[in-house]
Structures are given as structure tokens and as C-alpha cells.
Structure 1
Amino acid sequence: MGRLLVAEFRKTLTTKSWWGLMIPAVVLAFGFALGWGAFANEVGDVLSSSETQIIAQALGIETGHLPMGLLAIGHGINIGLTFPVIFGVFALAGEYSKKTITTTFLTAPNRVSVLTAKMITYSVWGAVYGLVVAAAASLGIALTVDGSRLPTGGQWLAVVGASVLAGVLATLFGIGVGAVWNSVVGSVVTLVIYLLVIENVLVLIFYGLWRVDWLGGVLPNGTMNGIVGAIGAQAFGAAGVKVPGLDAEAQWTLQYVAGAPGAFSWWASALVFFAWTMVFFAGGWVANQRRDIT
């Protein structure tokens, strides 16, 4: 297993995919966090106005030092985590497309050991992606959000930890999809369209027409986003816990602003996305035990 792990790390380090995908992940994570940070800070200014303070005090709500940065950082991290999903696709589907999978399988004791080595290797890469993306998003909100509205040290550590966890699961999810589909182009195109467009449109349509507020909390992209985004939503009482006077529409809106519409809590999102990951990973595992190599 040790030699297989070394071989897998060499495969990833000698290709351009790991840094070629990390560059746009960092740029987009920083850019989205920067933009949403500016927006959240403007909202914070409104909430801190004297008129709003009078209303808030009457309701018994403190708005002066809300961690508005938490509402922005999730967007940056979530868009950045699209790229470890794509990176994971290359684990098996990439080897099939390059015809290197034959050598990999024939020089290993069995296919199970190969897939296990890939899972471990790409989990490490997923954690690296999660950490780097969290750093980029953190820099984005630090530049646009007032210091009093930034996350506390504990909240920041929670976001970083959630980003690392989401990065690992995102990469394994990509491996599973690529292994089932056995096509880099097909998997990447389908995943990008689904993650960035189709599921978001479905969540908005189902909520707008039928007030289905839980759909994002059970679908793959929503649960991946909810691992980080729900931390921000929970800080405002819109996930996991309830704030008196916060109705269902306001709760869903805050979840959406935090990048986690429909999320129940960060840990529930992690469990559901883990289930999706295991479904595709198990499917890919079974498919590759039976797939012929040439």
C-alpha cells in the first residue's frame, strides 16, 4: 500500500491538473468572498443604523456586532470547492482516457488496493483544496468586512475545519462520478452544469412555486454547500437553532444569503453529502471491479 500511495502522489504531482484547477479555485473563492463581503458589510451598516436599532431593541435582538462575514465566506468557499470535485474525476476516469489504467491495475496486487490508494491520496488533496480555498475566502472577507463583523476565532476555525471536510468529500464525490461514468469530459461537463445551474434553479423554482424549503438540504450540491454555509446560517439562527420571531421565509432567505438554502445544520449537511459520496463511490468501485482493461 505504501508504494501504491507514493505512485498515486507522483501521478498527481507530475501532471498540471492539481495546480491548474487550484488557480481558478483560489481566484473564484477570493472574488466571490470579496463581493459578498462588501454586500454583507453594507447590510451590516443598515442593521447598525439608529432606525433599525430601535426596532431591533423592541424585538429583543442585538444587531450591532453580527458576524456578517460568515454570510459571505460560505459563498467563496462553496464556489471554490467545485474544483476538487473536478479534480476527483481525473482519479479514475482520467487514467482510462489516457490508457494508463492498464499499467496501474497490472502492477498492483488487486484493484481494491488501487482504489483504496486513490481514495487516500485524493482525500489528502481534497483537504489541501479545502484549506487553500478557505484561506482565499478568508482574505476576501477580511478586506471588505469591518473588523467587528468578522467571524470570531472559534467561528473561523469551524469554517476552516468544515471547508477541509467538504473538500475531502467533494473530491471523493468526483472520484465516484468519474468512476461510474468513465469519461472525463462527460463527467466534468455534467457536474459543472448540474452543480452551478440545474440544482440551483430547481431549489429556487421549488421554493418560489411550492415553498419547498428543504430541497437544498438533501441534494448533492446543496449539502456540499451546507457543510460550510450552514455555519453562517446557524450564527443568525437560520439553521440548526431558532431565533424567536424568525419566520420560515426569513429563515430560508438567510440560508440563501449564507450559501446554504435548505440546510438543516452543518453536520446534517455533511452526513447527507457523505451518503451521496458513498453512493457514487460504491457504484464506481463496483463498476471498476468488472470493467475490462485493454
Structure 2
Amino acid sequence: MGNLIKAEFRKTLTTKSWWGLMIPAVLFGFLFALGWGAVTNDFSDFLGSSDTREITGALGIQAGELPVGLLALGHGVNIGTMFPVIFGVFALAGEYSKKTITTTFLTAPNRVSALTAKMITYIAWGAIYGVVIVGAASLGTVLTVSGERLPSASQWLGVLGAGVLATVLATLFGIGVGAVWNSVVGSVITLTIYMLVVENVLVFVSFGWMDITWLGGVLPNGTVNGIVGAIGAEAFGAAGVKVPGLDDETQWFLQYIAGAPGAFSWWASALIFFAWTMVFFVGGWAANQKRDIT
């Protein structure tokens, strides 16, 4: 198994995909955190004054000390997480497209060993992406958010842990989708359109027309975003333990600007997205046990 894992790392490092996707992940994570940090630094200005007093009073802090840096971090990490998903697609679907999957399977004792080594390797890559993306988002946040509004040390560590968890699961999710679809182009295009456009439209329409506030908390993009975004929402009493008297519209708005509309809590988002990941990952695993490699 050790040799198979080394082989997987070598195969990945000889391609351009790992750094070709990491560069935009860092840039988008940094720029989104930078932009949202600039906006949310004056968060109390665009919240209604009564809502601000209600939220800060319930949380026991001053309005000017709201940890709005968490909102910038959430958006920065969430946009960056899209790239580990795409990176994961290349794990199996990329090998089929390049015709290298035959060598991979024939040089391993069996397909289970080959796929297990690939899974372990990409879990490590997902963690690397997580650390780098959180670092880039943190830099963007520090540059634009006032000191008293930055997250506490424990919140920083929480975001780091949640960010790594999100990117690891996102990478495995991408592997599963690519393995089921068996097409890099089809998987990447479909995932990008769905996660950036289709699901967001569904969440907005369900909230605006049908008053459904929870849909984003159960769909794939919403749940992977909620792993980090819900930490910011929880800091404002809009997820997890809700601030007493906070109406559903304000709660959803706070969740939205935290990057986690509909999220129940960070751990619930992680569990639900883990379920989505397993559906595709196990499906792809099963499909590749008997798929023809000739």
C-alpha cells in the first residue's frame, strides 16, 4: 500500500493540475475574503438598528465588536473549496481520459488496493488545499477587517479545522462524481454550473417564493459551504443556538452573508455533505470494480 500511495503522489506531482487549480483557489479565496472583509467591516451599518441591538444584546457584545471577520473568512474559504472538487474529478476520470488507468490497475494487486491508495492520497491533497485556502482567506480578512472585529484565536482554529474538513470532503466528492460520470469535461462543467448557478437559484427561489429557509442546508453546495460558513452564522446566533426573537428572514439573511443560507450548524452541514460524498464516492468505487479498462 505504501508503494501505491507513493506512486499516486508521483503521478499527481508530474501533472499541472495540482498547482494549476491551487493558484485560482488561493486567488479567489484571498480576493473574496478581501472584498467581503471590506463590506462586512461596517456590518452594523447595513443591519437594521433594532436587529443589531437585539443580536448584540443576546450575544453580550458591543455592535462594533461583532466578529464580522468570520463572514469574510467563510466566503473566501467557500469559493476556494470549489477547486478541490474539480481537482478530485481528475483522480479517476482524468486517468481514464489519459488512458493511464490500465497501468494503474494492472500494477496493483487488485482494484480495491489501487482505489484505496488513491483515496488516501487525495485526502492528503484535500488537507493541503484546505490549509492553503484558509491561509489565503485569512490574509484577505486581516487586511480589511478591524482588529476588534477579527475572529478570536479559537474561532481561527475552528475555521482552519472546518476548512480542512470541507476541502477533504470536497475532494472525495469530486472523485466520486468523476468516477461515476467517467468524464473530466462533463463532470467539471456540470459541477461548476450546478454548484455556482443552479443550486443558488433553487435556494433563492425557494426562500423568496415558498418561504423555505432550509433547502440550502441539505443540498450539496449549501452543505459544503455550511461547514465553514455556519461558524460565522453561529457567531451571530443565526445557526446552532438561535438568538431568541430573531425572525426567520433575518436569520436567513445572516446565514446568507455568512455564506451558509439554510445551514443548521457546522457539524450538521459536515454530516450531510459527508452523506452526499459517500453516495457518489461509493457509487464511483462500485462502478470501477467492473468497468472495462481496455
Within 1, Cα distance between the matches of 2:171 and 2:269? 16
Within 1, Cα distance between the matches of 2:199 and 2:285? 26
The 5-angstrom pairing of residues 67-82 of structure 1 reads 67-82=67-82
Moved over 6 A (4+): none
The 5-angstrom pairing of residues 34-113 of structure 1 reads 34-44=34-44, 52=49, 56=53, 60-61=57-58, 62=61, 63-113=63-113
SS in 1 for 2:85: helix
Q: Which runs of 5+ in 1 are unaligned?
A: none
Counterpart position of 1:197: 197
Counterpart amino acid of residue 183 in structure 2? S
Matched pairs, number: 291
Within 1, Cα distance between the matches of 2:51 and 2:217? 35
1:5 is the counterpart of 2:5: yes
The 5-angstrom pairing of residues 225-240 of structure 1 reads 225-240=225-240
Counterpart position of 2:134: 134
Superposed CA offset, 1:131-186 (max 9, x none): 10000001111011100000000000000100000010000000000000000000
The 5-angstrom pairing of residues 274-289 of structure 1 reads 274-289=274-289
Counterpart amino acid of residue 90 in structure 1? F
The 5-angstrom pairing of residues 177-196 of structure 1 reads 177-196=177-196
Within 1, Cα distance between the matches of 2:55 and 2:161? 37
Within 2, Cα distance between the matches of 1:7 and 1:258? 40
Residues 57, 16 of structure 1: alpha-carbon distance in 2 compared, 3 angstrom cutoff: closer
How high is the TM-score relative to the length of structure 1?
Answer: 0.96
SS in 2 for 1:15: coil
Within 1, Cα distance between the matches of 2:51 and 2:274? 44
How high is the TM-score relative to the length of structure 2?
Answer: 0.96
Residues 154, 59 of structure 1: alpha-carbon distance in 2 compared, 3 angstrom cutoff: closer
Within 1, Cα distance between the matches of 2:204 and 2:25? 25
Assess if the C-alpha contact under 8 Å between 1:44 and 1:68 holds in 2. Answer: no
Counterpart position of 1:156: 156
Residues 147, 169 of structure 1: alpha-carbon distance in 2 compared, 3 angstrom cutoff: same
Q: Which runs of 5+ in 2 are unaligned?
A: none
Residues 55, 200 of structure 1: alpha-carbon distance in 2 compared, 3 angstrom cutoff: closer
Aligned-residue CA RMSD (Å): 1.7
Residues 59, 135 of structure 1: alpha-carbon distance in 2 compared, 3 angstrom cutoff: closer
Assess if the C-alpha contact under 8 Å between 1:123 and 1:172 holds in 2. Answer: yes
Assess if the C-alpha contact under 8 Å between 1:33 and 1:140 holds in 2. Answer: yes
Assess if the C-alpha contact under 8 Å between 1:85 and 1:171 holds in 2. Answer: yes
Within 2, Cα distance between the matches of 1:72 and 1:218? 23
Counterpart amino acid of residue 257 in structure 1? I
